[in-house]
Amino acid sequence: MPKLDQCHEQVVRALQKDGWVVNTPYSLFVHKRRAYVDLSAMRQVNGTRQQILLVEVKCFADRKSSADELYGAIGQYIIYRMMML
């Protein structure tokens, strides 16, 4: 399981304040391949529907390596999106 970013708890608190029930982490499993998403959150809408949100938390705290971190984050997003299709 991957290491959590240092701003992880701030993101969890913000989602909880907005009414989301947060669970960590969420595992995507497709064709014998597994990927971990940092957070999954759920909330009821109109009392009947349930919204599900998957969140990959990225802080980009170090300005010197932020471009590399951004490229990595975009790559993770593309992989997660392909796994959910």
Global pTM reads 0.73
Strand-strand pairing, 39-45 and 21-23: antiparallel
The phi, psi pair for 37, rounded to 5°, reads: -100, 140
Q: Give tens-digit pLDDT for 1-56.
A: 667 777 888 999 999 999 999 987 888 887 888 888 888 999 988 878 889 898 88
Position 22 scores a pLDDT of: 94
Partners of residue 61 on adjacent β-strands: none
Domain extent listing, the chain: 8-84
> What would the mean pLDDT of 65-75 be, rounded to a whole number?
82
